[in-house]
Chain A
Amino acid sequence: MNGPGSEPVLSSLQAPLRAIGSVVLPSPEALDGEGWLEAEAIMERALASKPSGIKRQIRLFLRLVNFLPVLTTGRTLVKMPVERRAAFLQRLHRSPLMPLRRGLWGIRTLLFMGYYNQETVRRRIGYGADPWGWTAHFGDELRAAETPDSPGGGTEEPSPEGEEVAS
């Protein structure tokens, strides 16, 4: 979902983005076509409200990272085998040039955002936070006994065993 009038940032740079994702993401093979599309939609949504300067930097960095390996290997990042891709990105990660480290950190952050905000991934890693808190984890008995109101409705009862701070 993009903001009104905003253009997609990543649509023309899907290949280098996925090439970086193949190294950065924990189980890129677990992302099928739909998974990647969902990840990219999440990233686009986050980018939609960013200033145009940031969007320009992201596009520029992805193009740069794709073509930088040509200088030393004759291949773009997209065309490199995964092992060599990983070695190249590791050099960027430890680069003495802050803009390169920062750029990779930014793309890595975007990829993690697209990946770990997918419900299937959150379930797979075992994340289970729930608005119902303890009652969601430990069953309906607690729910019936302690929380007559629904989450979102709140409760005004003070925590009965709460210790007041000594003043």
Chain B
Amino acid sequence: MVELALSGDPEAFGEIVRRWERRIFALAFGMLGREEDARDATQETFLAAFRNLRNFRGEAKVSSWLHRIAVNQCITRQRRAKVRGETALEDEAEKNAAVFALPLEASPARTAEYVERSQAVRKAVSALPPDLRQVVVMKEFEELTFQEIADALEIPLSTVKSRLYTALRQLQLRLQKFGEAESV
């Protein structure tokens, strides 16, 4: 399909987008934590892929190639956001999004807990270093196998496992802190 796209067939690239759009969006959402950012990053990923179509190496998988582009797009986007200091507004928007996601019959106390928990998880994941975060997102959001992650990131299988272990430990500590703060 990439060969068709390379030969200038616009339908072929459209098919690549259709095939990988949701996965890349899931990855971007896990990496960035916000739907709006995830949509933008997904668009930028496919735009970058289209521009760099000629640099695609035939021996690599399309999924790996797109994942790498998407991860880079997310990291770049997060750096830019940090520079602009887009945190307070993001938090507010995320809080509102979580409230709307709740069932209508949920009690105010339950709603508050739900929102807090959701935010804590998102913040904990967002706070992970990019190399750990991407492994967590690929595993939890995309449900890729260890081998698929290793192939996509071009790292050894054992490195994937050790990164995931480290990421889980960090997340555990962060969520533990949240639980302690909540109980106080």
Say whether A associates with B. no
Q: Which residues of B contact A (CB under 8 A)?
A: none
